[in-house]
Amino acid sequence: CSSYQKALKSEDVKVKYDLAESLYKEGKYPKANRLFEQILPKYAGKPQGERVVFMYADALYKDEDYYTAAYQFERFSTSYPNSQKSEEAAFYSAKSSYMLSPVFSIDQADTYSALNKLQGFINNYPQSEFLSEANEMVQKLTSKLEKKELEIAKNYSKTYYYKSSIKSIDNFLLDYPGSSYKEEALFVKLDASYKLAINSYEYLIKDRLLEAQEAYDDLLKYFPNTTFADQASKIQEDIKEELSKRS
């Protein structure tokens, strides 16, 4: 029977506390957490509680249990708003939420909640040493949401719903005016506009080709050296050729 097992079964809170702390310092987080869970209620409302909650939250974070870590860090920063560690806890609570944000192609509820928490942190601690990291995370999450919208718009085009693709891109450009995906979005719009035009009834083709031409002009206006230059100019040539047939 190891000393760890003894501590787990021990009635003495102090024994548990000491072992949990040393396990935590050694980096044995899962073991430490089992002890922390046991002693946490005993220290609630006591001065040592502050230290226990922080160590517990930090161990959870390092053990990659971000869901519980986010909750425990948040609990810490609301229970001990005047603690020296409260800024750090608020940051790690937000960062834990950031770690929970999933791949762009599924529900983004966790991304939105991480963005809220990070924004809350940035507002509360504008002078924080973690500020640049927080800003970087906000950037990454926003970019993920943008990618989600763009991929949905691309998929409309892939399934031949060109009009829906164009509408989605228009929504995207309004919703995320400064997006890093703007260039790709403009190209997707050009591509969808052209395909919509040539797959239309004859009497609609000309007008729609002109709209596609506008989409091309937009892309070149904002991104004169666009990485999509080759594909875009190929489309533009086709637009010209099709238009010349109908002039």
Partner 1 sequence: IAQVTEDEIIEKGKQYTLAEIEVTGLKTFNKQTVITATGLRVGQKMSFPSDEISDIIKKLIGYDLFSNVDVYAATEGDNLYLTFDLQELPALSDFKIVGIKDRKKEDIITDTELKKGKKVTESFIVNTRNFLINKYKDDGYSNAKVTVTTRVDSTEANAVKMLINIDKGARLKIKSIDIVGNEKLSDKKLRKAMKNTKQKAIYRFWKKSKYIPENFEEDLSSLLDKYKENGYRDARILSDSVISNDDNTLSIAIKVQEGDKYYFGDIEFVGNNVYSDATLKKVLGLKKGDTYNGVLLKKRIQDNTDPDADDITNLYQNSGYLFSNISPVEVSAKNDTIDFEIRIIEGKPAYFSHITVVGNDRTNDHVIYRELRTKPGELYQKSNVVRSVREISQLGFFDPESVDPQIKNANAAAGTVDVEYHVVEKGSSQVQLQGGYGGGGFIGTLGLSFNNFSIRNIFNKKAYRPLPMGDGQSLALRLQASRFYQTYSFSFAEPWLGGTEPKQLSVSLNHTKQYASSYSSTGYYTGNVDKSRRFLITGVSIGIAKRLKAPDDYFYFSQALSLQHYNLKNYSTSLFTFPNGHSNSLAYTVGLSRKSSGPSPIFPKTGSDFSLSAKFTLPYSLFDGVDYKALREERDELEASGDDIDRIGEIDQKRFEWLEFYKIKFSGNWYTSLPAKFVLKTGSEFGFLGSYNSSRGLVPFERFFVGGDGMANYTLDGRENVQLRGYPNQSLSSSDGSVIYNKFSLELRYPITLKPQASIYALTFIEGGAAFDSFREFNPFQLKRSAGFGLRIFMPAFGLLGIDFGHGFDSIDGTNQPNGWETHFVIGQQF
Instruction: Compare residues 30 and 102 and give the one whose CB is closer to partner 1.
Output: 102
Single residue of 1, 14, 41, 46 touching partner 1 by CB under 8 A? 46
In the complex, what is the shortest distance from the CB of residue 20 to partner 1, in angstroms, rounded to a whole number? 20
Single residue of 164, 181, 183, 198 touching partner 1 by CB under 8 A? 164
Please report whether residue 49 would count as binding partner 1 according to CB under 8 A: yes
Tokens of 120: 């809350």
Nearest alpha-carbon partner for 36 in 81, 67, 72, 87 = 72
Please report whether residue 84 would count as binding partner 1 according to CB under 8 A: no
Single residue of 163, 220, 238, 243 touching partner 1 by CB under 8 A? 163
In the complex, what is the shortest distance from the CB of residue 184 to partner 1, in angstroms, rounded to a whole number? 17
- Contacts made by residues 115-121, CB under 8 angstroms, sequence distance 24+: 115/141, 115/142, 117/70, 117/74, 117/93, 118/94, 120/90, 120/94, 121/90, 121/91, 121/94
Tokens of 158: 């892939």
The H or E element spanning position 183 is: helix 182-198
Instruction: Compare residues 108 and 236 and give the one whose CB is closer to partner 1.
Output: 108
Which residue type occupies 75?
R
Instruction: Compare residues 49 and 70 and give the one whose CB is closer to partner 1.
Output: 49
DSSP code at position 178 = T
Please report whether residue 167 would count as binding partner 1 according to CB under 8 A: yes
Please report whether residue 107 would count as binding partner 1 according to CB under 8 A: yes
For 150-161, b/e burial (b = at least 16 CB within 10 A) is: bebbbebbeeeb
If you write DSSP's letter for every residue of 30-45 in order, what string do you get?
A: HHHHHHHHHHHHHHTT
Please report whether residue 161 would count as binding partner 1 according to CB under 8 A: yes
Distance CA 114, CA 70 (A): 10
Considering only residues 180 through 239, tell me which ones interact with partner 1, judged by CB under 8 A: none
Single residue of 10, 79, 124, 128 touching partner 1 by CB under 8 A? 79
Query: Are the C-beta atoms of residues 57 and 76 closer than 8 Å to each other?
Result: yes
Please report whether residue 160 would count as binding partner 1 according to CB under 8 A: yes
Please report whether residue 1 would count as binding partner 1 according to CB under 8 A: no
Instruction: Compare residues 17 and 134 and give the one whose CB is closer to partner 1.
Output: 17
Query: Are the C-beta atoms of residues 28 and 4 closer than 8 Å to each other?
Result: no
Instruction: Compare residues 214 and 241 and give the one whose CB is closer to partner 1.
Output: 214
In the complex, what is the shortest distance from the CB of residue 161 to partner 1, in angstroms, rounded to a whole number? 5
Contact footprint for partner 1 (CB under 8 A): 45-47, 49, 79-82, 102, 105-109, 148, 151-152, 155-156, 158-161, 163-164, 166-168, 171
